Amino acid sequence: MSRITDQLPAAVAATTVLRRRFAATAPVAWDPVTAAAELLRQLGHLAVCLLREDGALPASADDPQRVIADIGDELADIVLSAVSVAVLADTTPEPPACAEPVRNAAVVLLRLQLDCGDLAEAALCHTGARHTPTGTLPGIAAAAGAVLAGCDAFAAHRGLDLGAAFAAMVCDASRFLDLQGVPR
């Protein structure tokens, strides 16, 4: 099982290329806040997968024309979005030196959700779209790194190879962009 935090330079390089290529297809230019909004959308897609797996997906979220069912792919999309926030803020994710142990699936998911929220808040403050709150707010690099570490923890808990899932997602995204005629 490969961890995304062990492949950080390659993940940043792949994300940088995909961000440049996807920019040609986006109706508006992306900034860290746009990428943070996408991060939260992808976190929702992960929830769809987990709810589907548990048989608890609401009918309103079950779209037969847009089946969201691959946990590894959605986790890879979260990685892409988190790294995108950092790339668009001209920084690099800085994962924590030591990940805290995880007790159960609910804790893993809640920590990942917490880290995604911290990154979204850091992006909002970075762009001036939100005031800086009192207390200590992690910067984008630390917050993005925490999301990546959270993705690694989630993948480990589920027995997923996150490095392989991310590589597959990059290939799929590149193929999509190729079909759109977007130059490499």
pLDDT at 151: 96
Torsion (CA) 38, 102, 55, 53 in degrees, nearest 10:
70
| pTM value surpassing 0.85 | yes
8 Å CB contact between 4 and 79: yes
pLDDT at 125: 92
Burial class (CB in 10 A: 0-12, 13-18, 19+), 46: buried
pLDDT in tens, the chain (184 residues): 899 999 999 999 999 999 999 999 999 999 999 999 999 999 999 999 999 999 999 999 999 999 899 999 999 999 999 999 999 999 999 998 776 777 788 999 999 999 999 999 999 998 877 877 777 888 999 999 999 999 999 999 999 999 999 999 999 999 999 999 999 8
The distance from CA 17 to its chain's CA centroid, rounded to whole angstroms, is: 16
Burial class (CB in 10 A: 0-12, 13-18, 19+), 136: exposed
8 Å CB contact between 93 and 82: yes
pLDDT at 36: 97
pLDDT at 136: 82
pLDDT at 102: 73
